[in-house]
Amino acid sequence: MITVNNLNYSYTDKPFIRDMSFRVSRGEIFGFLGPSGAGKSTLQKILTGMLPDYQGQVQVHGVECKKHKKDFYENIGVDFEFSTMYEKLTARENLNFFSSLYKKKSKSIEGLLEKMGLAQDADKRVSEYSKGMKARLNFIKALLHDPALLCLDEPTSGLDPTNNRLMKDMILEEKAKGKTILLTTHNMQDATELCDRVAFIVGGQIMALDSPHNLIMSRGARTVTYRWQENGEQTAVCALDEISTDQRLQMLIHDNRLLSIHSSEPTLNDIFMDITGRALV
Amino acid sequence: MRMEKLIAGDVKFQRKYGFYFLYAILTIIYITAILAIPQSWRGKIVTLLIFSDPPAMGMFFMGAIVLLEKSQRVLCTLAVSPITPQEYIASKMISVSLISLLVAVSIALAAGKDHLFILGMGTVLTSMIFTLLGMIVAVKIESLNQFILWTVPFEIIGFGPAVLYLFGVDFPVFQYYPANICINMVAGRLPGGLKIVILCIFIAILFGLAQKSVLRMWNRLGGAKL
Ligand SMILES: Nc1ncnc2c1ncn2[C@@H]1O[C@H](COP(=O)(O)OP(=O)(O)O)[C@@H](O)[C@H]1O
Ligand SMILES: [Mg+2]
């Protein structure tokens, strides 16, 4: 589906994206996770053929991105990190127009507007839309021609929790239909929940690449925290894989004296800090 | 198919952004003015009015459209769609020429002109030339002020022959100058074959230049330094 080999790119003379290599297979949700300015959008622009002056090999659907023909785009849906609509036309007019430019028959505009909670505002001009509404509208636009590859640049940014949930469910629905999805985000939760694999990106480089599960498991040891009563309330922590050697815990279990016991694992956020030495936001 | 949809979209855009409304008012003003002029003058004035519309308005509107699409980032959407630069340019050219044609025919009818077909053809060809020039200029610049400044030389090139025509100055070499061929067509005179060929070649060259400019603009949307 997507093959990137030794990709190098920079807007200036200073190297920026350095020696990136990865593959994305069909039906996968692949995440680019990194702080602002890391190069996530740049990477998406390269993969969608908008930055043809890169070095290395970048193939999407078997086509080298810098040499794409225009029918390359029949099967790619792009959601930019900003609104890309005619402000004076209504949402419906915009969607009707953009979807008419593709060979494939458009998905139901009505249905998608309904699903994303925009049906009531479909005949409002885009200029009257809030940031979150624009984000949802642009997301719909990327989906309309039913592309095999979706490139979503921070699709959930600016959304309230309800709409965030709605959009994530839609993304998972597209995955269930076999679509390949590139998801750019600096939201650790979204990445953990949606992505089959994530690439940690900082300063134009991939610092780690694996499934969220493996990333979390491979690093920080999981711990167990327990509480009991003894001259007031006491708390202790031990590593999960050393639990059998904790005499006190054994005794507390034996005497049924535990007040509470929790295991906890590091979040993707902790792992990101751990690996890259940088916070996500 | 895609071309029709693109043109329909451009016409809708131009209606929504008030181009048609503005032109309707303009046409009414033109016609009122023409009817107030003594009959003996009317012929040349009507020709001038119709001819000057594409360089004055068509080119300006073309710039406004491209700048708007740039600032609202619609160009990003079009750049990652199956639309080719040729289709993009042709659609803009055809939709803007359509307005010029409507204005020209309305004025010509009101003024009781003959040779409507040649006049219409002349208008469309003039409009093609100036919308293409407008496109070539608009892709290079960022603001409307800049655009207006940059179009000045083209306006002079466009209006030059019109002024000469008004004063009846007629150098033989100038008859092969594209703008002069156009103004003669608008006046209702059928040009010879050579002149038509010159016009077609001229428009083809402009189209090619516009195509190059648009492709460059699209390739630079992402920030590439090409
Ligand atoms: N069009 C551009 N021209 C020059 N530099 C740019 C351009 N777009 C982005 N950059 C720079 O490239 C870096 C990465 O930007 P970007 O890929 O947008 O980051 P992210 O999407 O991860 O927040 C930033 O330092 C940004 O300033
Ligand atoms: Mg970004």
Residues with CB under 6 A from ligand 1: A 11, 34, 36-42; B 223
* Contact indicator for B192, B175 with CB cutoff of 8 Å: no
Nearest alpha-carbon partner for A121 in B107, A132, B186:
A132
* Contact indicator for A183, A171 with CB cutoff of 8 Å: yes
Q: A206 - beta bridge partners?
A: A201
Q: Give the mean model confidence (pLDDT) for residues B140-166.
A: 81
pLDDT tens for residues B62-97? 989 999 999 999 999 999 999 999 999 999 999 999
Find the CB nearest A101 among B5, B12, B13.
B5
Nearest alpha-carbon partner for A217 in A265, A277, A279:
A265
Where do the structural domains in chain B lie, given as residue ranges? 2-223
Q: Are residues A71 and B9, on separate chains, in Cβ contact within 8 Å?
A: no
pLDDT band (50, 70, 90) for residue A216 = confident
pLDDT band (50, 70, 90) for residue A240 = confident
Q: What is residue A50's three-state secondary structure?
A: coil
* Contact indicator for A151, A180 with CB cutoff of 8 Å: no
pLDDT band (50, 70, 90) for residue B224 = confident
Q: B176-192 burial by CB neighbour count: b if 16+ within 10 A, else e?
A: ebbbbbbbbbbbbeebe
Tokens 């608009």, located at residue:
B138
pLDDT tens for residues B138-149? 998 888 888 888
Mutate to test the interface with B, among A86, A95, A138 (most CBs of B within 10 A): A86
Q: Give the mean model confidence (pLDDT) for residues B208-218.
A: 94
pLDDT the model gives residue B135: 93
Q: How many CB atoms lie within 10 A of CB A192?
A: 20
* Contact indicator for A237, A222 with CB cutoff of 8 Å: no
Find the CB nearest A86 among B74, B84, B224.
B74
Which has the higher per-residue pLDDT, B161 or A222?
A222
Q: Give the mean model confidence (pLDDT) for residues B151-165.
A: 79
* Contact indicator for B193, B183 with CB cutoff of 8 Å: no
Q: A234 - beta bridge partners?
A: A228
Q: Are residues A53 and B224, on separate chains, in Cβ contact within 8 Å?
A: yes
Q: Give the mean model confidence (pLDDT) for residues B142-161.
A: 83
Q: Give the mean model confidence (pLDDT) for residues A28-46.
A: 95
Statement: residue B221 has pLDDT above 70: yes
What fold is seen in the domain A2-211?
Rossmann fold (3.40.50)
pLDDT the model gives residue B147: 87
Please provide the size of chain B in residues.
226
Q: Which pair of tokens denotes residue B126? A: 């003039």
DSSP code string of A148-214: SEEEEESTTTT--HHHHHHHHHHHHHHHHTT-EEEEEES-HHHHHHH-SEEEEEETTEEEEEE-HHH
pLDDT band (50, 70, 90) for residue B46 = confident
Q: A233 - beta bridge partners?
A: A229
Q: How far, in Å, CA of A78 to CA of A81, rounded? A: 10
Question: How far separated are the first and last CA of chain A, in Å rounded?
Answer: 30
Q: A181 - beta bridge partners?
A: A29, A150
Would strands A63-64 and A55-60 be described as parallel, antiparallel, or unpaired? antiparallel
Q: What is the mean pLDDT of chain B?
A: 88
**Ligand 1, atom 9: closest residue by C-alpha:** A42
pLDDT the model gives residue A220: 64
Q: How far, in Å, CA of B2 to CA of B107, rounded? A: 32
Query: What number is the ipTM of this complex?
Result: 0.88
| Range in A96-110, A111-125, B6-20, B29-43 the model is least confident about | B29-43
Q: Which pair of tokens denotes residue B61? A: 């509107």
Q: Ligand 2 mean position to A184 CA, how many Å?
A: 7
pLDDT band (50, 70, 90) for residue B175 = confident
Q: Are residues B82 and A102, on separate chains, in Cβ contact within 8 Å?
A: yes
Q: Give the mean model confidence (pLDDT) for residues A44-62.
A: 95
| Range in A81-90, A193-202, A261-270 the model is least confident about | A261-270
pLDDT band (50, 70, 90) for residue A275 = confident
B106's CB contacts (< 8 A; 6+ apart) are: B27, B31
Give the DSSP H or E segment for B128: helix B116-138
**Ligand 1, atom 25: closest residue by C-alpha:** A37
pLDDT band (50, 70, 90) for residue B150 = confident
Share of chain B above pLDDT 70, in %: 97
Q: Which pair of tokens denotes residue B120? A: 């219409």
Tokens 């202790």, located at residue:
A236
Which has the higher per-residue pLDDT, A186 or B7?
B7
Residue type, B179: A
pLDDT the model gives residue B38: 86
Which has the higher per-residue pLDDT, A240 or A135?
A135
Mutate to test the interface with B, among A70, A83, A88 (most CBs of B within 10 A): A70
Q: Are residues A50 and B80, on separate chains, in Cβ contact within 8 Å?
A: yes
pLDDT tens for residues A62-77? 999 999 999 999 999 9
Q: Are residues B73 and A102, on separate chains, in Cβ contact within 8 Å?
A: no
Give B17's contacts in chain A (Cβ within 8 Å).
88
* Contact indicator for B199, B182 with CB cutoff of 8 Å: yes
pLDDT the model gives residue B166: 67
pLDDT the model gives residue A281: 67
Q: How far, in Å, CA of B69 to CA of A125, rounded? A: 16
Q: What is residue A212's three-state secondary structure?
A: helix
Statement: residue B9 has pLDDT above 70: yes
Statement: residue B226 has pLDDT above 70: no
* Ligand 2 (single-atom ion) residues, CB below 5 Å: A 41, 81
